[in-house]
Amino acid sequence: MSNSINILLMVLAVNACVLAVACAALYRLNKAVDQFDR
């Protein structure tokens, strides 16, 4: 049981970190071209 909770916590932690970095990168890229978009 405790192993399952550990796996779940790791899944949440790793995914939150990776997806947060991905979202931040995409947000900055999107913002950089916003003013030039047609």
Q: Which residues bind another protein (CB under 8 A)?
A: 3, 6-7, 10-11, 13-15, 18-19, 22, 25-26, 29-30, 32-33, 36-38
Helix (H, G, I), strand (E, B) or coil at 16: helix
What is the C-alpha to C-alpha distance for residues 20 and 1, in angstroms, rounded to an integer? Answer: 28
DSSP assigned state of 37: -
Nearest-approach distance from CB 10 to another protein, in angstroms: 5
Closer by beta carbon to another protein, 1 or else 33: 33
- Residue 9's identity, in one-letter code, is L
CB of 1 to another protein, least distance (A): 14
